[in-house]
Amino acid sequence: MLVVSDTTAITSLSKIGRAEILSRLFRQIVIPNAVRDELLKYHPSLPAFLEVKALQDTGQLVPLLRDLEAGEAEAILLALELRADALLIDDRRGRRIAEERGVRCMGLAGALLLAKKRGIVPLVREILDELEKGARFYLKAEIKVRVLESAGE
């Protein structure tokens, strides 16, 4: 599965020492230059499993930058260019814009559910708790309840 990612999932999992979940879950994880730059502002290096690719066509970038940050905008466009299987993105506005353009989206919680289903992680609740404490990654209460119910926890 080819996945393009914005910054949130990678940086959140990196902060709690669990970025390898993504590398075990997806065959190929590609990030655009803007996401690389955002990650390197807060982390000394990129996880080795990430592949950085520049956008070939930046013509649609400026209109997207009116509503989104550079990393999200470039990730959406790169997902379209590469015909990615999914875009890993949590920002609600970014997801809406990506889906309007026909991009299949998955958030970090969805990735964790898939990781549990594939036996990569035993408990989603444990990782969500770590993310809240160590990465300040929060889900709305009702979304967290639905995620944990889907995980059978």
Provide the pLDDT for residue 116: 97
Tens digits of residue pLDDT in 134-143: 999 999 999 9
pLDDT of residue 58: 87
Task: Name the packing angle between helices 33-42 and 7-15 (round to 10°).
Answer: 30
Instruction: Name the CA dihedral angle for 15, 80, 50, 123, rounded to a multiple of 10 degrees.
Output: 50
Calculate mean pLDDT across residues 65-86: 96
As a whole number, the mean pLDDT across the chain is: 96
Superfamily per CATH, domain 2-109:
5'-nuclease (3.40.50.1010)
Edge-to-edge strands of the sheet including 2-5? 50-52, 28-31, 2-5, 86-88, 105-106
User: How far is Cα 110 from Cα 139, in angstroms, rounded to an integer?
Assistant: 12
Segment 8-16 shows an average pLDDT of 96
Segment 83-130, tens digit of pLDDT: 999 999 999 999 999 999 999 999 999 999 999 999 999 999 999 999
Residue 139's SS3 state is: coil
> What are the structural domain ranges in the chain?
2-109, 111-150
- Among 59-63, 67-71, 86-90, 103-107, the range scoring the smallest mean pLDDT is 59-63
In DSSP notation, 54-94 reads --S--TTHHHHHTTS-HHHHHHHHHHHHHT-SEEE---HHH
State the Cα–Cα distance between residues 52 and 56, nearest whole angstrom: 13
pLDDT of residue 64: 92
Q: Tell whether the model's pLDDT for residue 65 goes beyond 90.
A: yes
Global confidence as pTM: 0.93
